[in-house]
Amino acid sequence: MIDSRDYEEFSRFLSDCCGLVLGDSRQYLVSSRLSRLLDEFGFQSVPDLLHAMRKAPNPRLRTRVIDAMTTNETSWFRDAFPFEILRHVLLPELAKKGASIKVWSAGCSSGQEAYSISMVVSEWEESRPARVVPVSILGTDLSEGILEEARRGVYDGLSIVRGLSEARRARYFETVADGHRVIPEVQRRCRFQKLNLVDSYTALGKFDLVFCRNVLIYFSAETKRQVFDGIARQMNPGGYLFLGASETAGPYSKAFETVRTEYGSILRLKS
Ligand SMILES: C[S@@+](CC[C@H](N)C(=O)[O-])C[C@H]1O[C@@H](n2cnc3c(N)ncnc32)[C@H](O)[C@@H]1O
């Protein structure tokens, strides 16, 4: 069992290093998420592991603990409507404005969001728009392990069916020994990089479009305020921000306004 002092200390560690808020009495969650690491690193119990982390810094163990505690749930074309807005409203509008379009998938998990965006770009290009501009997509995440999956772009039979139509499955994947690999046409627009959203991200440059979906729900109000400020600073004038279906910016940031389209709503950086 994890006693309340260990639990409090572990909660503080997670919140300080990556903004994640565990909440009260979630000892069970901590035990179940860390159980595999106990065997791997030879600890008898979760308190043993926590005491070892306290006594001597071990960057590999620290990274693995953080990886184990993050929720990586994702799917292809999650919520559908953001990708409709992207295809029918944003790509045509942004292509008229600039020489290229830069997209950031912040908290990209295993890459489905970034690759879904890239598939939409392929379909937009095929529709012969008046002006095609190059689109680059940066996926960032805190978790090294999940980024490795994103970079490989190989998905098993279960994850390939979550959110993908049969037509897109047939068109955008090739079968490899251990699953289904995203084809180079889709992969070449995407790049993946480690980034902790509680750190500075000025080095990333500016984006026309940011997807930060189902990430901020795990953060405290104060961390949400800081992340919204940071994202706003990384956006080009008139840039757009997608949040998850249950997330809002209003209580934490005044930098954005809601724009309604026939496909749904999106946030735009105020001028
Ligand atoms: C639930 S997934 C959402 C994935 C995708 N955006 C979607 O909506 O399907 C949340 C992701 O945020 C990442 N994450 C959590 N805290 C983070 C932090 N402080 N910095 C960067 N990424 C973080 C997790 O590793 C996880 O992959």
- pLDDT tens, position by position, 198-220: 999 999 999 999 999 999 999 99
Can you give the three-state secondary structure of the chain, one letter per residue? CCCHHHHHHHHHHHHHHHCECCCCCCHHHHHHHHHHHHHHHCCCCHHHHHHHHHHCCCHHHHHHHHHHHCCCCCCCCCCCHHHHHHHHHHHHHHHHHCCCEEEEEECCCCCHHHHHHHHHHHHHHHCCCCCCCCEEEEEEECCHHHHHHHHHCEECHHHHCCCCCHHHHHHHEEEECCEEEECHHHHCCEEEEECCCCCCCHHHCCEEEEEECCCHHHECHHHHHHHHHHHHHCEEEEEEEEECCCCCCCCCCCCEEEEEECCEEEEEECC
Residues of the chain with pLDDT under 70: none
4-69 and 81-269 share one CATH topology? Answer: no
Tokens of 245: 């279906």
C-alpha 109 – ligand 1 centre gap (Å): 6
Q: Quick one: which atom of ligand 1 is closest to the CA of 75?
A: 9
> Residue 142: CB within 6 Å of ligand 1?
yes
Residue 33's pLDDT is 93
Encoded amino acid at 188, one letter: R
- Asked if residue 198 has its Cβ within 6 Å of ligand 1, the reply is yes
All structural domains of the chain with their residue ranges? 4-69, 81-269
CA pair distance 223, 204, nearest whole angstrom: 19
Class of domain 4-69 as given by CATH: mainly alpha
Does the Cβ of 143 fall within 6 Å of ligand 1? yes
Structural tokens at position 198 = 């509680």
Quote the CA–CA distance of 10 and 151 in Å, as a whole number: 30
State the pLDDT at residue 226: 96
Where does 81-269 sit in CATH, by number? 3.40.50.150
Predicted local confidence at residue 249, as pLDDT: 96
Query: pTM value?
Result: 0.95
Q: What is the pLDDT of residue 50?
A: 86
Pocket test for ligand 1, best of 33, 112, 142, 219 (most atoms within 8 A of CB): 142
Q: Give the model's pLDDT for residue 23.
A: 84
